[in-house]
Chains A and B, each alone.
Chain A
Amino acid sequence: MDTRGLSLKEEALLFGKTRSLVGIMTYPSETAGTGNLPAVVILNAGIMHRVGPNRLHVKIARTLAAMGFLVFRCDFSGVGDSEVRQDALPFEKSALAETQEAMDCVHKVTGTERFVLMGMCSGATISFKTACSDPRVVGAVLMNARMHLHGMNDESGSYARNRTLARHYWRIALFSSFRAKNWMKAITGRLDSWEIISKMVMGFEIGRLLSHKKKVSSDVNNVSAVLSSLSKRGVRLLHICSEGDFGLDYLHMTLGDKLKEWRSDGRLDIETIQGANHTFTLLWSQDCLLKTIGNWAQVLVRDGPL
């Protein structure tokens, strides 16, 4: 959606317990004429400030505001313009707490009690984890989410990561739309081929595969329980995966045969953008991402959350 010519009101806010976090509120377009929609909170992609890679978060916020959503883009502590926390709370906990503070801030300003969380990369993981623990979240858009279904610190998390990377490198080398480019890079020595080959082989090491088989199946059961509980709460999840990112491989490796089943019963909504990289650098891929999010949000406008 082209937002040029639309007069959208944006406001900078300090929020959080110590008013040290920075966020930008984009108010819904007055012409959109939609009421009772959940507010959208967009979280940082890694250490990139709230503008998002290639200003994508600004574009997403304005697109959704033009559709009638109130959108809040914010910085976690120590990222962008937000101050560093003075306590020693680890990021996994502080990010969840600050996401909830962002929702509190939006609630105070607008009275909204339902939220859709959005994030790319680590922002997707925090969105997912918050959706699992906070009943105010009615939807989440997870862009290139990686490892979000696992605990990153446990053994199965690192095992899943190795397997994911192995699958990713095989897929990029053999089936992706940039395979020719990658082979050229390997042939001309502009790629650390040995490291990649070692990951491709290590990821499928037979011994580890057998010893972890039980663990992996229990992971699938845990993930199944989490996704079912979100589904019962009426939380709508959209995964958006770039072809060049290993988030897609992660979903395949973690969920295996269940992936197809859950996609068909609506527990998982997955859109893949072919030819796009992790941060959606090229403008056509940004447009494609905006369209995908816009279409998903349109369903919320039409039907409301489950």
Chain B
Amino acid sequence: MEPFYFGESEKLLFGCYHEPEAEPSRSVGVVLCYPMGHEYMQFHRAYRQLALHLSRAGFPVLRFDFFGCGDSAGNGEEGKIHQWLADISSAIAETKRRSHVLKVCLVGLRLGGTLSMIQGAGREDIEGMVLWDPVVNGTAYVKKLRTLHQKMLKFAHVKQKGDTKGGKFTEILGFPFPQPLLVEVEKLDLLSIQTKPADNILVIQSDEKTDQKQLKDNLENMHARVNFLHYPTPDIWTWIEDFGKVVVPYQILQSVVSWIREAYP
């Protein structure tokens, strides 16, 4: 595994490239797109495990932090949808450059899944896509984040003080969401996308309260080959202060690896 920075010099992104560890290496590279905010923190470990399993199965894998997130350049207040879409493009280019593959499979979790699908709909080199609890409706997602934040305020040993820098951003579970970004996120609607984002798609639903089936139907109407997996795993998206209690959902990770192996033998 090689940690490195890539992309534009003023907006460098942090990535970890996992060389394929099995011979022969596969002809498709995998790019892992993280979720945002507290979900990024809680699923870093799971994504690392996923990358290790995929590289052992012979896939070149790149996982990377979006601009303003994780180890990448930028502050949280600078997050923008178009920037993050450009970041996925950079990550795809970097994966191709390092592994010499021509096609890639995107694995996107939550908002990372949403961005993956939007990106896939705009280009033709995305061979496969795993949409793991993608944010289908931005308004519902923002509403849920706000609810989680209010719950945290109620139960955690924290005291709320003042507003957040003159109302320039909304604070959600310790991360700043600038107002223009919130507006952009609220407008996200995966059901409005009419272009097939990839030929092979795996949709995973772990959250009981969201219904990904309509997304699956939409994708099928676009003539994509869609597999749908439902793994009810309550509460994996809630905020947890004690990181020792964060869950790595191995059943889902194994399913993702099996699906990608079978799709790209």
Which residues of A are in contact with B by a Cβ distance under 8 Å? 3-4, 7, 10-14, 22, 24, 45-51, 53-55, 58, 80-81, 83, 172, 176-178, 181, 185, 190, 242-245, 274-286
Contacts and interface: CB of A to CB of B under 8 A. Distances in A.
Contacts of A181: 154-155
B48 interface: yes
21 contacts: A10-B12, A12-B71, A48-B243, A53-B41, A54-B41, A54-B175, A80-B44, A81-B1, A81-B3, A83-B1, A178-B157, A178-B158, A242-B157, A244-B156, A244-B158, A275-B161, A276-B159, A277-B241, A281-B152, A282-B159, A283-B174
Contacts of B16: 81
Contacts of B246: 47
A12 B14 CA distance: 8
B5 A285 contact: no
Contact of B48 (A10, A81, A243, A279): A81
B167 interface: no
Interface string B1-22: 1111100001010101000000
Contacts of B162: 284
Contacts of A274: 159
A264 to B, nearest CB: 28
A304 B80 CA distance: 41
A13 B5 CA distance: 10
B161 A12 contact: no
B174 A53 contact: yes
B157 A244 contact: yes
Contacts of A172: 157
Contact of B3 (A12, A190, A245, A283): A12
B178 interface: no
Nearest to B71: A24
B75 interface: yes
Nearest to A56: B174
Contacts of A279: 174, 241
B41 A48 contact: yes
B241 A51 contact: no
B78 interface: yes
Nearest to A177: B159
Chief secondary structure at chain B's binding surface: mixed
Contact of A282 (B10, B38, B174, B244): B174
Contacts of A185: 155
Interface string B84-99: 0000000000000000
Contacts of B41: 48, 51, 53-54
A10 B73 contact: yes
A51 B157 contact: no
Contacts of B38: 54
Nearest to B76: A55
A54 B174 contact: yes
A220 B44 CA distance: 40
A168 to B, nearest CB: 10
A281 B148 CA distance: 13
B176 A283 contact: yes
Nearest to B159: A275
Closest 7 CB pairs of A and B: A244-B157, A275-B159, A54-B174, A12-B3, A281-B174, A277-B157, A277-B158
Given A47-B45, A47-B244, A53-B41, A243 B155 contact: no
Given A3-B75, A4-B78, A178-B159, A281 B154 contact: no
